[in-house]
Structure 1
Amino acid sequence: KGVMLTHKGLVTSVAQQVDGENPNLYMHEKDVILCVLPLFHIYSLNSVLLCGLRVGATVLLMQKFEIVSLMENVQKYKVTIAPFVPPIVLAMAKSPEVDKYDLSSIRTVMSGAAPMGKELEDTLRAKLPIAKLGQGYGMTEAGPVLAMCLAFAKEPFEIKSGACGTVVRNAEMKIVDPETGFSLPRNQPGEICIRGNQIMKGYVNDPEATERTIDKQGWLHTGDIGYIDDDDELFIVDRLKELIKYKGFQVAPAELEAMLIAHPHISDAAVIPMKDEAAGEVPVAFVVRSNGSNITEDEIKQYISKQVIFYKRINRVFFTDTIPKAPSGKILRKDLRARLAAGVPNQ
């Protein structure tokens, strides 16, 4: 996507994160920051490299993600800040290799680029009990950071599992009804909108897309569904366009995925819609079994059914070797939809 980010916007975003007496993202010159994410991804470029350079920290570059190599580097170079994405968090939470290394130097684990469920967050917290763990929320068009976990601040606050923190400084956020555009009250899910000097100038050579994304009042419409609670903390539900429509009810794939990967016999999972004549769409799951597991489709469906209301129940389970993902960690749902449409979901 051709997103036009200005120098002013990038500098504003870095300042929103690491500047001030009590910055939202506390980094200093003695920190060693792990950079395992690709630098063509805005999270890595902005919140890792540029923020690290701004405070004079050491930035440790890895050519690619490999779980053992990552842990060896953390132990050897005494990494203090570990910016991750959910697939890396998942790998660390599920890998028995983690217990073989000294990772006690890590004081902060950041996760972004895709939602991380409460169950996964709690699992990693048990593996790294000393580290502050939390999520940020961003998108390229927003410059990129919209919200930052207050556990990362110089004077940290206790946070709720699954929260993405509060809106960054010198920016405004609101939640709106995606149908009417009207602002919604606290604790009610709707589309997340952001306004501030850090947001994009627009899309390259696409004024129509720019106009659809940034309204006349300067609000950038993210296309993400979330809500703000009574403590000003933001929670992400899912992408607006990825919600599954079951008989008029909306089902968030991320909610079901978090439940699935919390199961000890499941190493990874993704949920997408499947067309259904009666319901319109039904949720179906692609599941990667843990090594040595023979968990069945019926066992997985029963496991989910015990935790959710009727319209969120999984209709089918397809077993696969891997879940396709982009370098940023986002699930490539279009690849799974193509496999489903081609009639070869089990690959």
Structure 2
Amino acid sequence: MLSRQQDTLFLTKKLDQEPCQDIIFRSKLADIVIPNHLPLTDYVFQRFSGNGDGDSTATCLIDSATGRIFTYANVQINSQRVAVGIHRLGIRQRDTVMLLLPNSPEFAFSFLAVAYLGAVTTTANPLYTQAEIARQANASATKMIITKQCYGISPVLVMELIQRYKVTVVPVAPSVVLAFVKSQETERYDLSSVRMMISGAATLRKELEEAVLPKFPNAIFGQGYGMTESATVAKSLSFAKNLYKTKSGACGTVIRNADMKVVDTITGVSLPRNKSGEICIRGDQLMKGYLNDPEATARTIDNDGWLHTGDIGYVDDDDEIFIVDRLKELIKFKGYQVAPAELEALLISHPYIEDAAVVAMQDEVAGEVPVAFVVSSEGSQVTEDDVTSYICKQVVHYKRVNMVFFTDYIPKAPSGKILRKDLRSRLANGPMNLS
């Protein structure tokens, strides 16, 4: 710790004496012209109306639950009808509408309808409790909630749909990738139509990416990285018109029309390649701010226009970005930083573990220690000692898993992100709530 403090003091003194220039990373691809004179809905449908060259009768959306098919013309008309309906119910420009909806055609119609009116959308998880919905509605000053029955989509159904509709591009969350890897059902389906598989929503480790590729023999795999506040930050160039060779585990390179830098989490100094720090992004695609919360906005976007993502990562020699973990989720063990995602990747590589999550548990001596919640494979007899020994052999001492709690499931958002706060709540509420 003393060495780290001395380094920080030296850097601080140096900054006081000399102005520091940011090390900025840009896309390998040229910037493009993005029109800023069109409303969102006009931009979305411009190819399919008027003199556009798009085919408005082409399929735009398919409802997997019912088989209903919507053309681009259908989507535009339905969105306009919903806009008229909610306008009659009193929604006006800058009013807030909550979408309490699963992934469905109704979500698209409602989102576009709100945009037609110049109103504001706040999206909520359909699995939220009444109290959680009420808190979000109050915070966003919601005037209307649009909702419907929620249904889930299993990995088997996804494979059935790929086979039935000859799906070519498959966006997935890491939890779905994991389900594909662990599933014994993939051999039963023809997945050869898939030519692109894009993972987002959370960190996907190299080992899991490499494990899923044999399941989709004709697919190019790549990752994207972004957040609600910044939209897309990075995307794999394996999807570019002129293909670039990419590495497993990378989440792409910074998008066009944007600047990116990596900063030291203590000093704020921008870092060179292959040095981990907080990723910051700047560009016209950033949010204007958090609704009715200028203090939170100021904490996230600094005076120079940099949005601080809270994600820890680095840029390698080929401009590819690797995410290590969330800044707020790093476990602080006696001054060392432990990334939960690294341990989770090792845990799910165990042949008898279906899923896993790692969080911090308070410890009187170390401050925090890593503990694991594990879903074991059906019929397996894997024990806590088996799991801790498996990890112990592969990591340095401060990354070792301190305790293992076996559970029926890992709580996740619809996007696939692990709901770590739910797991931390279980720890805080005592032994009866750990399984």
Which of residues 198, 202, 205 is equivalent to 1:114?
A: 202
Cα distance 1:328–1:308, how it changes in 2: closer, same or farther (>3 A)?
same
Q: Distance in 2 between matches of 1:305 and 1:34?
A: 47
* C-alpha distance 31-307 of structure 1, shift in aligned 2 (>3 A): farther
Other structure's SS at 2:159 match: helix
In 2, the alpha carbon distance for the partners of 1:110 and 1:285 equals 28
Cα separation, 1, equivalents of 2:58 and 2:390:
46
**Can you list the C-alpha shifts for 1:225-250, whole angstroms capped at 9, x where unaligned?**
00001110000011100000000000
Partners of 1:84 and 1:244 in 2: CA distance:
27
Inter-partner Cα distance in structure 1 for 2:151 and 2:372: 32
Tell me what 2:399 maps to: 312
Please point out which of 352, 361, 379 is paired with 1:292.
379
Q: How far apart, CA to CA, are the structure 1 residues paired with 2:38 and 2:337?
A: 35
Counterpart of 2:153 in structure 1 is 65
Q: 2:351 aligns with which of 252, 255, 264?
A: 264
Flag the structure with more relative contact order, 1 or 2, with Cα contacts below 8 A and sequence separation at least 6.
Answer: 1
8 A Cα contact 1:8 1:197, kept in partner? no
> C-alpha distance in 2, partners of 1:115/1:34?
28
**Compared with structure 1, are the counterparts of its residues 11 and 337 closer, same or farther at alpha carbon in structure 2 (3 Å cutoff)?**
farther
Q: Which runs of 4+ in 1 moved over 2 A?
A: 7-12, 29-40
SS for the counterpart of 2:427 is helix
Deviation of 1:35 after TM superposition, in Å, equals 8.8
SS of structure 1 residue aligned to 2:249: coil
Helix, strand or coil for the counterpart of 1:79? coil
Give how far 1:182 is off.
1.0
| Aligned mates of 1:254, 1:335 — CA distance in 2 | 17
Is 1:86 matched up with 2:174? yes
**How is 1:177-256 mapped onto 2 (pairs within 5 angstroms)?**
177-256=264-343
**1:156 partnered with 2:235:** no
Deviation of the 1:172 alpha carbon: 0.6
Q: Is the 8 A contact 1:33 1:82 kept in 2?
A: no
Structure 1, 292-301 or 234-243: larger mean CA deviation: 292-301
In the alignment, what sits opposite 2:184?
A: 96
Q: 1:156 Cα shift?
A: 1.8
Q: Deviations over 1:90-133 (max 9, x none)?
A: 11111111110000000000010100111111110121132011
Task: Tell me which amino acid in the other structure corresponds to 1:187.
Answer: N
Q: Distance in 2 between matches of 1:89 and 1:34?
A: 22
Q: Give the superposition deviation at 1:259.
A: 0.8
TM-score when scaled to structure 2?
0.67
Matches of 1:10 and 1:280, distance apart in 2: 52
**Which runs of 5 or more residues in structure 1 are unaligned?**
1-6, 16-28, 50-61
CA 11–130 in structure 1, closer or farther in 2 if over 3 Å, else same: farther
In 2, distance between residues paired with 1:231 and 1:34? Answer: 38
Unaligned runs of 5+ in 2: 1-34, 44-56, 65-100, 113-149
Distance 1:329 1:320, change over 3 A: same
Distance 1:11 1:256, change over 3 A: farther
Q: Deviations over 1:114-156 (max 9, x none)?
A: 00111111110121132011210010000x1000011121222
1:346 is aligned to 2:428: no
Q: What's the TM-score once normalised by structure 1's chain length?
A: 0.83
Equivalents in 2 of 1:265, 1:307: separation in Å?
Answer: 17
Structure 2 distance, partners of 1:192, 1:11, is 30
| 1:19-58 equivalent positions in 2, closer than 5 A | 38-39=102-103
**Closer, same or farther in 2 for the Cα pair 1:9/1:230, shift >3 Å?**
farther
1:34, distance to aligned residue in structure 2 (A):
8.5
CA distance in 2 between partners of 1:332 and 1:129 (Å): 32
- Determine if contact 1:31/1:80 at 8 Å carries over to the other structure: no
On the 8 A contact 1:9/1:200 being kept in 2, the answer is: no
Amino acid at match of 1:171: A
Please list the CA deviations of residues 169-189 of structure 1 after superposition, one character each: whole Å capped at 9, or x if unmatched. Answer: 110100001222110111111
Alpha carbons of 1:155 and 1:64: their partners in 2 closer, same or farther (altered >3 Å)? farther
Cα distance, 1:11 vs structure 2: 8.8
Aligned to 1:105: 193
From the superposition, tell whether residues 119 and 153 of structure 1 become closer, same or farther in structure 2 (CA, over 3 Å).
Answer: same
Deviations, residues 180-206 of structure 1 (Å, cap 9, x unaligned): 211011111100000011010000011
From 207, 212, 226, the equivalent of 1:138 is 226
Alpha carbons of structure 1 residues 225 and 253: separation in structure 2 relative to 1, 3 Å: same
Q: Judging changes above 3 Å, is the alpha-carbon distance between structure 1 residues 149 and 63 closer, same or farther for their aligned structure 2 residues?
A: farther
Question: Greater Rg, structure 1 or structure 2?
Answer: 2
How many residue pairs get matched? 307
Task: Tell me how far apart the structure 2 counterparts of residues 316 and 199 of structure 1 sit (CA, whole Å).
Answer: 40
Q: Hey, what does 2:213 align to over in structure 1?
A: 125
Contact 1:32 1:80 in 2 (8 A): no
Task: Decide whether the 8 Å contact of 1:94 with 1:267 is kept in 2.
Answer: yes
For 2:366, the equivalent position in structure 1 comes to 279
